Structure 1
């Protein structure tokens, strides 16, 4: 009986400790979320004039200037998301100016470095951002990642990044062949991804 009581007390301590750890983790996540929200609100206020400048000068002849201050990591992340949205909305010369701005801000090099990470989540996130920024230098490494990637939803994140970064029909064809080796029933999705590319791929649809 004493042994059973001792075991029950130990189990109670373990459950209590587990609950305390869970509460601490939830509290930390909540604090981090609140902090990020506050920093994002400050970003919107601080960068309001700069974002207005970007939209007003996209059609101008001069390249876009970087902000006249250094961004902290949270501000850089918020700026990346805003520029990603703009690069999806605009095309042609306007998009090229935004891509060059990403180069000047150091965002391209930042994500090229992150892409070399051994942590899968970091590597996948970097692949997504490199695709948004149409970084042509990333295509060979993205294709290598695509070849080794298991068949799941993240596979198509990498494939779409290849399509956006591709600068030749050969690169697009390599992406298509890899996807078809993974899954023969994704033709509509492949066509949708090819539509995101800046490459004239008219002859590929017949093939």
Structure 2
């Protein structure tokens, strides 16, 4: 029994020592963090006049001056952080001037050394900072590091840094080739990363839109500008018949972004496409264009086998003024399928309600016209009941 008490006493002593050690360690860490935060705050205050000078002279022609006097290691680290925060908020000429300042302060060399010597979080932090600085000399090292990075979020951090540091389209092409091999499901993110590069990615987009690799095609479509020339539009039309469904749908989305890119014959072919997603997109887009000439086409699409196509066709008819409203009334009064008649009637109700809520003389006139039209088809009910 005495031996058991000794064991218990020993256990209590060890546990107490561990608890005390843990508390002391936590206090030391807290003190260290508070001390670093205080030092950081003091360094920021010391550098705030210089940072204000840099901001005020970004538009000037003369070279930005370096800080007065030697900078300690801690002061330089804090200044680097402040200038990177500024670089993330500016573009074009302002970012170029900051890149020159980073170079003269010797910061890219410091981060390049960290990039090649560090691992994990420290290496990613160095890559991020090099990207923020726009250091073109870092591109080869970043490309090399990208090939050894196993963590997917880490790869995207490095890829963004490569885009910002790229010397030419060859750097961008190499980065994207590696990324699509390991992360093929992120075309939009890769297109966004490419858009941050000082190197114009447009030649790559034109090259990839015709590529046999659907992953590159998706990146090209995600990065396509809001205005396109005939050549690009022609490439999109070819992709409507692509083997990969995601490519077909994305091509349709781009073509239907504006009614100026499609002819009535092309719209008709899209609304008859084998993919219900493309038929639904087409029906929905017509309502956004507010082109009443497509009323007959939408009226036929309301009989589509897919519910989403029918739903978007009815919604778009409701947006096409009096012609669309009249078509809905005809469908609701003549449809043989109750589901289609109910869908048309629901959109009639919504249109009457929206028109009645409209303000001004135009709203009142529109409501009166639609009420009269409704009565001509459904004279057994009052429109007021429909909108109440």
Both proteins in one fold, TM over 0.5? yes
- Taking structure 1 as reference, are residues 4 and 128 closer, same or farther at Cα in structure 2, changes over 3 Å only? farther
- With a CA cutoff of 8 Å and minimum separation of 6, indicate the structure with the bigger relative contact order: 1
- Taking structure 1 as reference, are residues 28 and 173 closer, same or farther at Cα in structure 2, changes over 3 Å only? same
Question: In the TM superposition, what is the alpha-carbon distance from 1:3 to its structure 2 partner?
Answer: 4.2
Find the aligned partners of 2:118 and 2:129 in 1 and give their Cα distance.
17
Q: 3-state SS of the aligned residue for 1:47?
A: helix
Find the aligned partners of 1:178 and 1:7 in 2 and give their Cα distance.
60
- 1:25-52 deviation line (CA, Å, top 9, x unaligned): 3222211221122222222322222122
Tell me what 1:92 maps to.
92
Question: Cα RMSD over matched residues?
Answer: 1.8
Tell me what 2:112 maps to.
112
For structure 2, which runs of at least 5 residues remain unmatched after alignment? Answer: 209-388
- 1:39-89 deviation line (CA, Å, top 9, x unaligned): 222223222221221111111111111111222233222211111111122
Matched, 1:62 2:68: no
Correspondence 1:11-160 to 2 at 5 A: 11-160=11-160
For the Cα contact (< 8 Å) 1:143–1:162, is it kept in 2? Answer: yes
Tell me what 1:198 maps to.
198
For the Cα contact (< 8 Å) 1:108–1:130, is it kept in 2? Answer: yes
Tell me what 1:169 maps to.
169
Find the aligned partners of 1:182 and 1:10 in 2 and give their Cα distance.
54
**TM-score, scaled to structure 1:** 0.91
For the Cα contact (< 8 Å) 1:36–1:74, is it kept in 2? Answer: no
Q: 3-state SS of the aligned residue for 1:36?
A: helix
Find the aligned partners of 2:15 and 2:188 in 1 and give their Cα distance.
50
**TM-score, scaled to structure 2:** 0.50
For structure 1, which runs of at least 5 residues remain unmatched after alignment? Answer: none
Find the aligned partners of 2:183 and 2:3 in 1 and give their Cα distance.
58
Find the aligned partners of 1:124 and 1:201 in 2 and give their Cα distance.
24
Find the aligned partners of 2:148 and 2:173 in 1 and give their Cα distance.
17
Question: In the TM superposition, what is the alpha-carbon distance from 1:13 to its structure 2 partner?
Answer: 2.9
For the Cα contact (< 8 Å) 2:87–2:132, is it kept in 1? Answer: yes
Find the aligned partners of 1:125 and 1:49 in 2 and give their Cα distance.
26
For the Cα contact (< 8 Å) 2:142–2:162, is it kept in 1? Answer: yes
Matched, 1:8 2:1: no
- Taking structure 1 as reference, are residues 158 and 6 closer, same or farther at Cα in structure 2, changes over 3 Å only? farther
For the Cα contact (< 8 Å) 1:39–1:75, is it kept in 2? Answer: no
- Taking structure 1 as reference, are residues 6 and 160 closer, same or farther at Cα in structure 2, changes over 3 Å only? farther
- 1:117-172 deviation line (CA, Å, top 9, x unaligned): 14433322211111111111111111111111114312211111111111211111
Bigger-Rg structure (1/2) = 2
For the Cα contact (< 8 Å) 2:43–2:78, is it kept in 1? Answer: yes
Find the aligned partners of 1:44 and 1:193 in 2 and give their Cα distance.
31
